[in-house]
Structure formats: structure tokens, C-alpha cells
Structure 1
């Protein structure tokens, strides 16, 4: 610990830092921060932690037991590329002073418990995760939420609804159109420069990037980042979201990782690649289906078995389920296949044992990455421990199946609403609690938060389409 602290202060000195920004994540996945002048930070700050008020965060502490401690974790700290004064950002966990243990509602502490459970199980040493976070960059968003009005309006110059609009007297006419945004070159792809700027800043804060491209939807993009262990991958999602949003903001635009902001166009997912390693060997490589091992297939079987429960964490918003409908490459059918993007789990084409992995296509970025990755791991480990079969692969085009055909074949689907996902999780939650990774208190808190903050408010509001379907009845 002393070495890490001395290395941290050397880093601050090298970059002439003036402020230290301590960041932590709440239940929803939102980043929060507390800043200190560097002169107020010393070795004891890292040894004793930083007191803060946890009662001001949704569904954390009551006001009569509000005190908690931030514990800085000296990994992946970086210079904030957006602050006017040199500021170093540090990830933090939360410590419960009342139970004298890691706070059971701290998402980052939960993922650490999941990682420790993997090691304690003897199955593997490390789980590697590679998330692919898609996003939209819009020119503006207007929202109205009144007692007599519910509305939103999104705009982007790429939108096909702007075909007859004048922009400073002209309209250049080059637009991708609905579902037409996959890989067109400029001028149809109008976001090349802003994505390039995002990549440069991501590299600056220590994230290795590779593929960068326009996605299928209008104003939609994706930046591929390198995989890492579970904690690193989740930390990097937080860094990626911060950079993408801030670069868009400083360019006079607004970025969102919302799964389905555009009706009738493709949504944004967080496809998640997973493999488990032990003693430097990829346990998912073998001689079964598409070069996978039996361990990989049992891991897959566990996730498919618990998927309707896992969705409470991987698809964590009411908006998530507007993405998981037929017709938009939506991976809502619980099946697996090689290279088949119509299945909820894909076996990517790969060269060599090291690259063998499973790609789970149903998660999205409205999830808290720490909770989503932990839930996926716990479901998969339950599949390995209990030898849960994955069933037969489905290499057909699942998008072409009717609902009746899906039912006839006995294919399970993901839940259709967040309410259903939370209820499925409550009915099937024991696998989450093994090793005390997800505590019962956290599960009940998560349920309460989702119902109070999202489900009930969403269910209670009239929708504009209801006035089309119901007003004249």
C-alpha cells in the first residue's frame, strides 16, 4: 500500500496536479465525486478514507446513519482531460462504518466480491470482460414532463426528418436514413471527427481502443475498447461514458447511452464478451461446439437459465425493453449460435484458444456495469457448478420466427418490461447470494429503488400514443 501511495503522489507531482477528484458509483451506475486541493491530501487520506454523507444518495443510508467512508483504490487513476486546473481522478469504494466491512450497496464492492468468489470456487483465477458500448450523439434533446403534457423531441442533422430543413440556408442532403448508418463514409457519416476526438481522449486517460465506426442508427456510434478483468472492464465503462459525454458536450452536442431513444430505428446495446482463465489458460477453449469447452457451455447454460433474472441488472431501465423487440437486431430470444447475431448469445469467430469467448448481446448501457458483470458471472458460475446444459445451438435466422413459432419451439425470451425482470430476479435470486456477493439487503434495496424511481413513475404517466389509441374511445 505504501508503494502505491508513493507512486500516486509521484504521478501527481509529475503532472503538477492541483486537485484530487475522488469518484464512486451509486446503485443506478451514476458517477459521483468529491474534490480536494492536493495540499489537503496526504498518506492518511488513503489509509483512513474520506468521510461523506451517504443519506443524500437514493436508497443508500437513512439520515440517522448517514456517515460512510470513501476508500480510494489506486488503480487506473488518470488526469481529468476536461478540468481547467490539473485534476487527478481516483476510483473509490465505500466502507460501512456501522458494520465495519465493505458497504453491501456499493456496486464496486459487489464486483470485487464476485471476483473473490470466482477464485474461492477454484474454478478460475480471472474473468475477462469486453463490453461494447454503443451510443448516440444528438444535436439537442427537449423534454416536457408536466401534469398535462408528456413529450420529448430529439434532433440531429443526420435525422431523416431533416431532409427538407434549411441549415443556414442550405441542406446538403447526405443522411444515413433509418437503419442505414452502418459503415457509410463521409459525408453520410457526419461523426468521424467527433469520434476521433473521443478516441484521442480515451487513449489519453489510459484506455486502449481499436475499431471505431458509425453504427446502424442515425447519429449512432461505437468505439471498441480493449477487454480487461471484471473490475477494469467496469471501471473503463465509467471512463468511456464520461469521455464520450464530455467530448460531445464540449462540441455543442449531447451524447446518450440510452438503449432506445429513436422510435423505429436500432437501439444501443452493451454486447459483453466473457471468458474465464486459470493458471494462464483460457478455460473456455475446448473441443465442443465451435471450439468451446464444456465449462464454457455450462457457463452459457447458467446464464441462459437465469437470464430472465439477470436482466434486472443487465437491462436495468424501462427503456431497455423498447430495444428488445423484434425487427431491430434485438437479441431478445434466449438462444446461442456461432456468428449468428439474431441469437442473444453469439460465439464470435476467433483464431486460437486465447480468443475463445462468449458474447452476450442482450445487455445495454443503462445498466450499472459493476452489477451487470457481477450478475452475469454469478449466473455462469452457477451453470458450471451445477452442470446446467446450454441446450442445442440455433443457427437459423431467429428474427424470421413468428411469436407462435418461438413458442412452439419452446424458446424462452427475455422479459418484456423492467417490472417483469425485477419480479423474475426476486423469484430467482439465490445464485446471486452465493458467497454473499449480492446480499438480501442489497437485493431488496435494488428492487425498491427500481420501483420507486423508474417503474411506478413510468407506469403512472399517460403516453402520447395512448391518446392516439384511446382518446376517442
Structure 2
């Protein structure tokens, strides 16, 4: 959809308001709403002014004027606002008309342009599987007189003994994969989410209950090009959260909201194409992958410690990345093996379906930054010929969790903390700077923001510390 089509849609659909959306460095969306009668060609050509000092990771108050430039191709009608509203995603520009270098969406667009400049491929396709929980109640507080969190779900196994009306059919820990109703209580909610996603332009492929107790779910939508997929993921999260709220529930994409059960990941499928020609397929190769695909895998696994600072950028991420909960902490690749960081899907493989699946990321990632960083790591692997087999990254076609201690010792692991990942990013980020996709300023700002989060968590007294140390 172009500018003229959007203006025509505003008129034909009797749109009352237009909502312009931007994303901050952390990955949260923000919006400003303008009456539809005030939106014209000038809005698309000149943009919408806003205060950049109020967004995480953007400018200081002394230099805060910024411009949101609408992308008409992203327009969709908002299903949650009473007045008919059209939502449009924007890129961020400086007042002088130059792109703002910390704009996450701008970084994603630069990554796509860089891909074409390399001559290696024309398009990078991404398909995230973003898992989430639907809770019935969440309470938390952190202050000088106390810290706690409390969640609840009608499906939770801890509610088997709940007094009052209790109909049973609770989901056991690690027992939530694919149960039918009435154990799965959220089918209608997920159906509604999928219907609204389809109406908004996403191509939904499937949905189901996930492994954990207490309402873990997964909805898959079809892959697209890098930036468009990041747009789609933010739209996906927006719809999930608002449908949940409509039904009196709350959705979270936190990687590890529950102690002692599986966390939520964001497995990211990715492939390269040259026009219509898939570049990751070679019949007879390992898992029918081309040498280019193997080099791409090598790049991701080689740079994984640094990459994880962008794909798993929360302290909570590393409560998921521990052995024993299907968490892909092992930096190896394998076909059809979900215990490896990179899995090669082999079911129903066709040339165009040939792809790799990086299973380590989670949905606290800013998708524009995470997808761009994954592409840059993969391209570095191709350019440098980083064959994962020669670098000790596999393939490992056994359940890694069942290996002996000696065998496990030979396998590299993901960083054990956000601080460790940030240290790796400080050492290893030259691959991100290629083509000016990321800048030193963006990387330094990101590291500073994340280190501040680490300090906040580390300096907060934890209820577990009372259990461990109060009586010493």
C-alpha cells in the first residue's frame, strides 16, 4: 500500500483517527494519534514531530525534536479502538531530514540494504515462533519494605487443591503440549487472536497450547522479509496482549515467568533467497543444506556469545537459558534436534522451505535489532567461510542432555548471564558495523542501557535471599 492508497482507504473506510507508531531502543512501541481529517500528503512527506527525549535510548532533552516518517505499507485498521483508527508504523528521522542512527527499524532497513550490496542474496526471510503465557492475575512489587511477585492461572497445576468450584483438568508441569479441551481452556481466545491477526494482514499458520503449565501458548505466522517480519511481530504482540485483556487475562512474553517449568522462547527461522531462487538448499548435503547455509550457521554460532546480548537482552532471559527445560544453551547445530541452538527442520523439506532455526532467542529482544544482528552474523560467516563443522559446532544428532559429562565438556555453551553476553558484545561487534548497519554509538548505548538494568536487579533484595540467609 502506498501513500495514495492509504489516503483513499481513510476516506473509503470512514477512518476517524490515524495512529502513528514508533519503537524505542528496548523494543517497546509508542504512538501519537491524529484526527483523520488532519492527515494528508504532507503528513507522509514531512512526518509527525515528537519528543525523542521521552523514549528509552533516544536523545537527551536538550536535542529532543524528532520526526516520525510513516511507512504506508504498514497500515492496518486497529480492532481494539472504539473510534475507527488506522495504525501506521514509522521510521525515525532527525529534524534535518537524515535518518536517526538509533532507530531500530532504520537499522533493520540498513541490514536489508547491506545484504543486497554484498551481492550474496537479494532477500533475507525471517519467521519467529514467539511463545507467551496467559495468566488470570499478576501482582508484583519491588521496594524498600518488600519485594514479591505472584501469578495465577486457572490451568495451573498448583491450583489442583484450590477451594471453591474446581473442575480439575489442570496442566501438569511440562505437560501442556497439545492437550485438548477442557484441559486446554484457551482455544477460543487463541482463535480470536488468529482471526484478528489475519484481518490485520498476518498469515497465521497454526496455534496450540505449549509445554508449560499455567497457560503457555504459541501462535505461528508466516515468514516475511526482515523488516516486515519485525513489524509483524510487534503487531502480533499487540493483538495477543489486547485480546487477552478483553477476556480478563494478561499476556506476557517474559522468557521465564514461572519457576520450575519451561520458559518462553522465540525460535527464529531464517533463509536467504536470490530473487525466487532459494540459496539454503542443496540436495544430498547435510539435512539438504547448501554450503552457503552452513557458513551462515557458522557465523551465527561463532558470534553467538555477542549475538545473545541482542537476542536475549534481559536478566530474565538467562533464567530460561539453563539445561533441563528444553532451553537451547548448546552452541551446536543439528537436524531435527531441539536440544541444539540451531535446528535444521527436515520435515516436509522442499528447496524453498530449506532454512535454519536459531532457537536461543526470546521475545524480550527488539526484533529489528535481533533480526538485523542475526543476518549480519550469518553474512559474516558466509564471507569468511566459517564452516561450523570445522569450528567444533557439530553437527550433534543426539539428545545433548543425555550426553556424558565428558562429551558435554566438548560443547560450547551460551553465556550464563546478561553481563557475560554484554562483555562478549564489547569484544566482538565488528561484524555488526559492516556497511554502517549498526554504529559504535548504538552498541555503546545498548550496552549502557542493559548494564543499568543489571544493576537494578542486582541491587534489589530478593525474597529468596530471606529464605537462604535470614537466619544466618
Which of 89, 92, 101 pairs up with 1:91? 89
The CA deviation at 1:97 is 2.7
Give yes or no for contact 2:137–2:151 (8 Å, CA) kept in 1: yes
The CA deviation at 1:41 is 1.1
Give yes or no for contact 2:25–2:102 (8 Å, CA) kept in 1: yes
Query: SS at 1:420's partner residue?
Result: helix
Which of 261, 266, 272 pairs up with 2:262? 266
Q: Distance in 1 between matches of 2:425 and 2:141?
A: 32
2:200 alignment counterpart: 205
The CA deviation at 1:400 is 2.0
Query: SS at 2:75's partner residue?
Result: strand
Which of 400, 413, 420 pairs up with 2:402? 400
Q: Distance in 1 between matches of 2:228 and 2:40?
A: 25
Query: SS at 2:2's partner residue?
Result: helix
Give yes or no for contact 1:76–1:206 (8 Å, CA) kept in 2: no
2:161 alignment counterpart: 164
Query: SS at 1:101's partner residue?
Result: coil
Query: SS at 2:178's partner residue?
Result: coil
CA offsets, 1:215-240, max 9 Å, x none?
Answer: 00111001110100001110110000
2:67 alignment counterpart: 69
The CA deviation at 1:470 is 2.3
Q: Please give the TM-score of this superposition, normalised by the length of structure 2.
A: 0.97
Label 1:249 to 1:77 Cα distance change in 2 as closer, same or farther (>3 A): same
Structure 2: which 5+ residue stretches go unaligned?
none
Q: Distance in 2 between matches of 1:35 and 1:201?
A: 21
Give yes or no for contact 1:208–1:225 (8 Å, CA) kept in 2: yes
The CA deviation at 1:405 is 3.8
Label 1:86 to 1:176 Cα distance change in 2 as closer, same or farther (>3 A): same
Give yes or no for contact 2:15–2:86 (8 Å, CA) kept in 1: yes
Label 1:70 to 1:84 Cα distance change in 2 as closer, same or farther (>3 A): same
Query: SS at 1:335's partner residue?
Result: strand
Alignment of 1:312-461 (within 5 A): 312-349=309-346, 350-391=348-389, 392-401=394-403, 405-407=407-409, 409=410, 411-452=411-452, 454-461=453-460
**Aligned residues: CA RMSD:** 1.2
Query: SS at 2:319's partner residue?
Result: helix
Q: Distance in 1 between matches of 2:405 and 2:414?
A: 13
Label 1:403 to 1:313 Cα distance change in 2 as closer, same or farther (>3 A): farther
Aligned length: 465
Q: Please give the TM-score of this superposition, normalised by the length of structure 1.
A: 0.97
